[in-house]
Amino acid sequence: MAAVGDIGIDLGSSNIIIHMRGRGIVRNEPALLAYDQSIDKVLFYGADAYRLVGREPSHIQVYRPLQNGVIQDYRMLTSMLHHIVQEVVGRRVVNRPRAVMAVSAMANELEKRQLIIGMFDAGARRTQLIDRPLAAALGALPVLKDPYGRLVADIGGATTDIAVIAGGQIASRTIIQAAGDTFTDAIIRYVRLKHNLLIGFRTAEDIKCAIGTVYPLGDASLSLPVAGRNLISGLPKQIEIFRDEVAEAMEEALRQLIEGLHGVIERIPPELANDVFENGILLTGGGAMLKGLQEAISEEMQIRCITADRPQECVALGCGYAVEHLAELMELTGENRRKGT
């Protein structure tokens, strides 16, 4: 039986989000840490490390331990997990919580094992891994045995996980590289080419979230002051960037995402394709918060597209739901429970 304190965890390339039974979402932090090579010590985790991005002194490195769903540095990853999970569950010897963690399709068996061990060291009694799009679907629509085929696209920072889910199981799934960061990178490129201005990742993220849209919505003349380095003079410079420029910058990234979705839908078995056309596409993940994305995909693909409530939290919420229904879930997926030790 699930207990108060059991956790659901979405370990993403961009953010680590934790749901705790009885308390809801208790953490949503950038999945980063800042490491000081000169003293071999991690200085900051999460939001504190994010503040250093683009301003780190030479002896400090900001790590993203997970990239494109693949573990880049196991030591850094376990250090981050340990820190963030312990903050949430405390240092317990007895009554340690159970955990459900969502993993990307890119994770191999060794990485999965490493994640389970890392979670045990971080304080979880036992960790069950589930597929990310299944967790996303459960977070948006908490019904395990929903018999209808649904297409879920979990648009993260680095990757978009796409799956058709029917009856609590994954009927087909794939992963594409076009996701939230593709739009951010496109803004950096555009500002460099059009304004000869070099801007950092955080600045481009701020532009995207504040005025970015991929579909004509609201006031096109909205603008934002943007500071960077002039590539010709080498000096700091500020310009004004307009919403329609940001939209132009992101056109190609939108095309890549839509092409990726298209490729997946073309390969859906015919008996499920009908369900997908009827139920539409469910968008989850932080990338789904991009303004106009739902409208642009619906119009381009001629399929209804719905953004989940609290899209960025769906995977963690789904893990939280799964930890409460673990036995049922395992029966459905036919998997044996993995133990933490």
Ligand X SMILES: Nc1ncnc2c1ncn2[C@@H]1O[C@H](COP(=O)(O)OP(=O)(O)OP(=O)(O)O)[C@@H](O)[C@H]1O
Residues of this chain that interact with Mg ion (CB under 5 A) are: 12, 156
Residue closer to Mg ion (CB basis): 247 or 315: 315
Instruction: Please give the size of the binding site for ligand X, defined by CB under 6 A.
Output: 23
Q: Which amino acid is at 145?
A: K
CA angle 139, 141, 147 (to 5 degrees): 125
Alpha carbons 317 and 334: distance in angstroms, whole number: 22
Specify the 3-state DSSP secondary structure of 86.
helix
Nearest-approach distance from CB 126 to ligand X, in angstroms: 23
Specify the 3-state DSSP secondary structure of 64.
coil
Q: Calculate the CA 59 to chain-centre distance.
A: 29
Specify the 3-state DSSP secondary structure of 218.
coil
The binder of ligand X chosen from 6, 8, 9, 14 (CB under 6 A): 14
Strand partners, 10: 17, 102
Residue closer to ligand X (CB basis): 168 or 311: 311
Nearest-approach distance from CB 15 to ligand X, in angstroms: 4
What does 184 bind: Mg ion, ligand X, none (CB cut-off 5 to 8 Å by kind)?
ligand X
Cβ proximity of 296 and 254 under 8 Å: yes
Residue closer to ligand X (CB basis): 2 or 138: 138
Q: What are the backbone angles phi and psi of residue 27, rounded to the nearest 5°?
A: -150, 140
**Stretches 11-19, 84-92, 270-278, 330-338: which one binds ligand X (CB under 6 A)?**
11-19
DSSP string, 245-264: HHHHHTHHHHHHHHHHHHHH
Nearest-approach distance from CB 181 to ligand X, in angstroms: 5
Describe the strand order of the beta sheet including 33-36 as a list of residue ranges.
41-45, 33-36, 60-63
The binder of ligand X chosen from 6, 9, 13, 203 (CB under 6 A): 13
Alpha carbons 235 and 228: distance in angstroms, whole number: 8
User: Using N-to-C axis directions, what is the helix angle for 74-89 and 109-122, rounded to 10°?
Assistant: 40
Residue closer to ligand X (CB basis): 25 or 209: 209
Residue closer to ligand X (CB basis): 283 or 329: 283
The binder of ligand X chosen from 43, 53, 289, 332 (CB under 6 A): 289
User: Using N-to-C axis directions, what is the helix angle for 314-324 and 132-140, rounded to 10°?
Assistant: 90
Residue closer to ligand X (CB basis): 36 or 252: 252
From 289, 281, 50, 315, select the one nearest 183 (Cα to Cα). Answer: 289
Two tokens, residue 102? 């969502």
User: Is the Cα torsion angle 314, 320, 325, 331 positive or negative in sign?
Assistant: positive
The binder of ligand X chosen from 60, 209, 273, 301 (CB under 6 A): 209
Binding marks (x or -) toward ligand X, 303..332, rule CB under 6 A? ---------x--------------------
What does 286 bind: ligand X, Mg ion, none (CB cut-off 5 to 8 Å by kind)?
ligand X
Nearest-approach distance from CB 12 to Mg ion, in angstroms: 4
The binder of ligand X chosen from 205, 249, 280, 319 (CB under 6 A): 205
Nearest-approach distance from CB 271 to Mg ion, in angstroms: 29
Nearest-approach distance from CB 246 to Mg ion, in angstroms: 23
Nearest-approach distance from CB 66 to Mg ion, in angstroms: 10
Our finding on whether 181 is near ligand X (CB under 6 A) is yes
Specify the 3-state DSSP secondary structure of 182.
helix
Residues near ligand X (CB under 6 A): 12-15, 31, 69, 156-159, 179-181, 184, 205, 208-209, 285-287, 289-290, 312
